[in-house]
Structure 1
Amino acid sequence: MSVTLVFLGRLADLAGAPEQALPAPLDWATLVASLPPALAAEVAGDKVRVAVDGALLADKAMLQAADGAEVALLPPVSGG
């Protein structure tokens, strides 16, 4: 039983991989605690958004991911 974390953009660089599996069920506190400190600090910031199975969450603290879910961590987008 696991949840797939998907790291996008520079978060994938900080994570060292584009994906990581964590045990299910998964809540926000457990997700942050499972990450390396630099990555945890980055995703805990206000600018990183979270989507569960393609649906954006209005509040990251409300994360509840069951077995088989995909949780995407989306950094802010910059363009030029």
Structure 2
Amino acid sequence: MSKLTLTVDPDVIRQAKSYAASQQQSLSKLVENYLRTLPKAPGTEEPALELKGLVADLAGVIDESELAKHNADYVRFLQEKYQ
């Protein structure tokens, strides 16, 4: 393990510590878990965190072209609704 020093607003630290406690983990572990979700390298979409279990099983289930169609339909719906 390596140490890391961060400068963070005191209110944000209090909020983060409270959240970490509610999740029964340390603030260090919370930050580490977040950092693991970042892409491995700039321009890389692949997260450093490996998907496991049900999440891995569901990844890629929806075809991207289908998703784009549904998103376009939803955008059209919202445009009509709020005109």
> TM-score by structure 1 length?
0.22
Higher percent of residues as strand: 1
Larger radius of gyration: 2
Higher relative contact order (CA 8 A, sep 6+): 1
> TM-score by structure 2 length?
0.21
Higher percent of residues as helix: 2
